[in-house]
């Protein structure tokens, strides 16, 4: 991911303490972003799945620390140069994530009100926990971007004769598979994995990259179904 798209990673990763998050809050771009602005979040292959994961995990609200930990352990993080903190900052800046503060009594208030309380001496930073929650508009886009919907669109775009191969590849990845194992599967289905004159050539990397764009599989020590990929097949 280049700085042109999402800013300086080193600054985002190291320059934000919790107090700075409280004081800055989301970037104010005036009006709420249009839905197509949020769709732009999913237009880059290297960040699509980590953004999707962050918004899905935060639908009911998580502390910022919990979300950072979850993203740090998510396989999709390996596809991007962004840190978990940077991913969250970008989503807050796009109003895809909303940030509040959970007080000691369990109630939630805006970050602005909490900062005002700190500055007035009515409370201290230790009495609040930053909470992030996916916005309604973001969840609408996430629904459109569901793995099931993306798989349906993919199968609608590929040659019907190839659909069976892709379904076999999905089922095969119920357990982690190497590219070599997937090549063997493709060969067993009557296709060649290298150019020949007598058989159609199908590259394992093309099959898996296409499936990865649907969110149904990811690389996690091998090509394997994601949780939503499993759900979509059942």
Radius of gyration of the CA atoms of the chain, in A = 21
Look at residues 144, 172, 198 and tell me which one is the last residue of a structural domain: 144
**Angstrom distance (rounded) from CA 222 to CA 57:** 23
Check whether residue 212 and residue 138 sit in a common domain.
no
Check whether residue 20 and residue 83 sit in a common domain.
yes
Burial 55-72 (b: 16+ CB within 10 A, else e): bbbbeebbebeebbebbe
Check whether residue 26 and residue 97 sit in a common domain.
yes
| Least confident range of 24-28, 41-45, 181-185 | 24-28
Check whether residue 31 and residue 96 sit in a common domain.
yes
CA distances from 144 to 35, 49, 141, 150 (A): 11, 14, 5, 8
Task: Give the tens place of pLDDT for each residue, 19-36.
Answer: 445 544 444 444 444 555
Confidence of residue 1 (pLDDT cuts 50, 70, 90): very low
Cβ atoms of 216 and 228 within 8 Å: the answer is yes
| Least confident range of 10-19, 71-80, 89-98, 222-231 | 10-19
Check whether residue 124 and residue 159 sit in a common domain.
no
Check whether residue 140 and residue 221 sit in a common domain.
no
Check whether residue 134 and residue 157 sit in a common domain.
no
Check whether residue 206 and residue 162 sit in a common domain.
yes
| Residue 191: Cβ within 10 Å count | 19
Entry pTM = 0.76
Check whether residue 91 and residue 139 sit in a common domain.
yes
pLDDT of 112 over the 60 cut: yes
Look at residues 87, 114, 144 and tell me which one is the last residue of a structural domain: 144
Q: Which residue in the block uniquely carries the two structure tokens 């080193």?
A: 10
Check whether residue 128 and residue 205 sit in a common domain.
no
Q: List, as one string, the DSSP characters of 206-217.
A: HHHHHHHTTTSE
Q: What is the pLDDT of residue 198?
A: 65
Task: Give the tens place of pLDDT for each residue, 91-110.
Answer: 999 999 999 999 888 899 99
Check whether residue 62 and residue 127 sit in a common domain.
yes
> Which of residues 173 and 40 earns the better pLDDT score?
173
Domain range for 114 is 3-144
Check whether residue 70 and residue 90 sit in a common domain.
yes
- Name, in order, each residue with C-beta under 8 angstroms of 45's C-beta and a sequence gap of 6 or more: 79, 213
Task: Give the tens place of pLDDT for each residue, 116-165.
Answer: 988 898 888 878 999 999 999 999 999 999 999 999 999 999 988 899 99
Q: What is the pLDDT of residue 21?
A: 55
Give percent of the chain above pLDDT 70.
83
Q: What is the pLDDT of residue 36?
A: 56
CA distances from 218 to 48, 147, 205, 223 (A): 12, 12, 12, 6
Cβ atoms of 134 and 59 within 8 Å: the answer is yes
Q: What is the pLDDT of residue 9?
A: 34
Q: What is the mean pLDDT of the chain?
A: 84
How many domains in the chain?
Answer: 2
């Amino acid at each position: 991911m280049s700085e042109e798209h999402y800013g300086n990673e080193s600054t985002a990763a190291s320059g934000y303490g919790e107090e700075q998050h409280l004081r800055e809050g989301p970037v104010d771009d005036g009006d709420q972003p249009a839905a197509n602005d949020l769709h732009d979040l999913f237009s880059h292959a290297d960040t699509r799945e980590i953004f999707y994961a962050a918004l899905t995990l935060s639908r009911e609200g998580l502390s910022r620390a919990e979300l950072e930990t979850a993203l740090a352990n998510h396989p999709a993080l390996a596809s991007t140069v962004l840190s978990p903190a940077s991913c969250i900052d970008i989503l807050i800046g796009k109003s895809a994530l909303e940030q509040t503060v959970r007080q000691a009594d369990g109630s939630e208030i805006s970050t602005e009100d909490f900062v005002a309380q700190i500055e007035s001496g009515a409370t201290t930073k230790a009495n609040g926990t930053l909470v992030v929650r996916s916005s309604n508009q973001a969840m609408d886009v996430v629904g459109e971007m569901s793995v099931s919907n993306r798989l349906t669109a993919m199968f609608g775009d590929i040659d019907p004769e190839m659909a069976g191969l892709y379904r076999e590849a999905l089922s095969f990845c119920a357990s982690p598979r190497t590219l070599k194992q997937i090549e063997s599967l493709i060969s067993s289905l009557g296709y060649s994995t290298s150019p020949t004159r007598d058989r159609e050539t199908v590259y394992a990397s093309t099959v898996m990259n296409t499936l990865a764009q649907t969110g149904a599989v990811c690389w996690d020590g091998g090509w394997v179904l994601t949780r939503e990929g499993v759900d979509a097949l059942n």
